[in-house]
């Protein structure tokens, strides 16, 4: 996809693709906008020609613990809801962490459907020496009724 809006003009990347009811859904990030980078949504019937969500960008986090940026989308349906995992940074833009938002299982993924569950704090932040100042690019799978995150 080529940039189609001002918020995409510096770049778009890191898509998470999911096939839902025969439709390919992409959750991708804008790039190069710093604190204003956000998660966008596009969908396709053939996996080649995509239509952008008219409410793009569909997600940016709120809360005092982060800078407002959302990148590295990961989507999974679990127990009847869609969970959108994202990476963001602290307000000083030094430490990258993970947050999560949720939408109803019957969502069409519009901006107004997402509720940020990480309002007061991240779900995961660097704690071990090997993580240094950055946790990003999470992948989540379900196994026997539990979610497992790889980052």
Report the distance separating Cα 69 and Cα 25, nearest Å. Answer: 21
Q: Give the whole-number percent of the chain exceeding pLDDT 70.
A: 100
What is the per-residue pLDDT for 47? 95
42-93 per-position pLDDT tens digit: 999 999 999 999 999 999 999 999 999 999 999 999 999 999 999 999 999 9
pLDDT for 3 beyond 90: no
User: What confidence category does residue 132 fall into, taking pLDDT thresholds of 50, 70 and 90?
Assistant: very high
Say what the pLDDT of residue 1 is.
73
What strand order describes the sheet that includes 115-116?
Answer: 71-78, 81-89, 96-104, 115-116
Length of the chain in residues, anyone? 151
**What residues contact residue 137 under an 8 Å CB cut-off, 6+ apart?**
14, 72, 87, 151
Asked if residues 26 and 74 have their Cβ atoms less than 8 Å apart, the reply is no
Count the neighbouring beta carbons within 10 Å of the beta carbon of residue 116.
Answer: 18
- CA separation for the pair 8, 14 (Å, rounded): 13
Tell me which residue of 70, 77, 103, 71 sits closest to 19, measured CA to CA.
77
Q: Is the dihedral of CA 123, 125, 130, 133 positive or negative?
A: positive
Q: Residue 5's pLDDT is what?
A: 87
CB 122 within 8 Å of CB 134 = no
Q: What is the mean pLDDT of residues 93-98?
A: 96
């Amino acid at each position: 996809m080529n940039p189609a809006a001002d918020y995409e003009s510096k770049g778009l990347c890191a898509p998470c693709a999911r096939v839902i009811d025969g439709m390919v859904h992409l959750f991708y990030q804008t790039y190069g906008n710093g604190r204003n980078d956000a998660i966008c949504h596009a969908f396709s019937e053939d996996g080649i020609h995509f239509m952008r969500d008219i409410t793009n960008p569909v997600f940016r986090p709120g809360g005092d613990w982060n800078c407002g940026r959302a990148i590295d989308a990961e989507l999974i349906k679990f127990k009847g809801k869609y969970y959108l995992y994202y990476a963001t940074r602290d307000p000083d833009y030094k430490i990258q962490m993970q947050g999560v938002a949720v939408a109803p299982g019957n969502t069409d993924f519009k901006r107004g459907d997402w509720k940020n569950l990480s309002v007061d704090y991240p779900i995961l932040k660097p704690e071990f020496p090997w993580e240094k100042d950055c946790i990003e690019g999470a992948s989540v799978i379900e196994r026997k009724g539990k979610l497992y995150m790889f980052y």
